[in-house]
Amino acid sequence: MLQYCYISSARPGQPVDVDEILATSRRNNQQAGLSGLLIFDGRRFLQVLEGEGAAVRSTVERIQADPRHRAIVKLSERRIEAREFGDWAMACNRVADAGDSRNLASTVDALTEGVADANTRALFRSFARIDRAA
C-alpha cells in the first residue's frame, strides 16, 4: 500500500466549503478503498491518503488539479504494510470556531491516536497547534 502526504493553501479570498469537500471525498474514497485524514485550519490543508498505489495516485492527481487550493507541496510518499488511518476523516476549524485552535488540536489528537509512525503523528499534531495569529 501507498501513503501520500501533502500540504497546501486555500485560495485567498475564496471561502472554502469544507462540507462539500468532505461529502465528495467520503463518497469517492470509500469507493476507491482509501483511508486518511484531511485537516483544514482555516488557511492551510494537510492531508494524508493511503490505499492501493493506483487509487492513491489517481486521487492525488485529481486533488492537485483542484482550483480551490494552491502551493501544493508533497511531504512524503512511502510504502506502508498496514493502514495508519483506519477510516477516512476530516478535521477542521470551521468559521464558527475560528481561533479555537484547542478544539482542532484535541480533535486531531483523537484522530491520530492509532497512528503507528511517530513522525506522521507528530506532523499532524503540530499542524493542528500552529498559532495562526502569529
Ligand X SMILES: Cc1cc2nc3c(=O)[nH]c(=O)nc-3n(C[C@H](O)[C@H](O)[C@H](O)COP(=O)(O)O)c2cc1C
- Stretch 91-130 residues interacting with ligand X (CB under 6 A): none
How many residues bind ligand X, per CB under 6 A?
15
24 binds ligand X, rule: CB under 6 A: yes
Query: At residue 100, what is the residue type?
Result: D
35 binds ligand X, rule: CB under 6 A: no
Q: How many CA atoms lie within 13 A of 109 on its CB side?
A: 7
Q: Which class for 31: exposed (0-12), middle (13-18), buried (19 or more C-beta within 10 A)?
A: exposed
Place of cell 470551521: 94
Q: Which stretch binds ligand X (CB under 6 A): 65-73, 76-84, 107-115, 117-125?
A: 65-73
62 binds ligand X, rule: CB under 6 A: yes
Element (H, E) at 73: strand 69-79
Q: Which stretch binds ligand X (CB under 6 A): 23-31, 77-85, 100-108, 117-125?
A: 23-31
Cβ-Cβ contacts under 8 Å for 104 (sequence gap 6 or more) = 39, 41, 91, 92, 93, 128
Among 3, 25, 93, 112, indicate the residue that binds ligand X (CB under 6 A): 25
3 binds ligand X, rule: CB under 6 A: no
83 binds ligand X, rule: CB under 6 A: no
Closer to ligand X by Cβ: residue 93 or 118: 93
Q: Are strands 88-92 and 35-40 parallel, antiparallel or unpaired?
A: parallel
Residues at the site binding ligand X, with contacts judged by CB under 6 A: 21, 24-25, 28-29, 38, 45, 47, 49, 59, 62-63, 66, 68-69
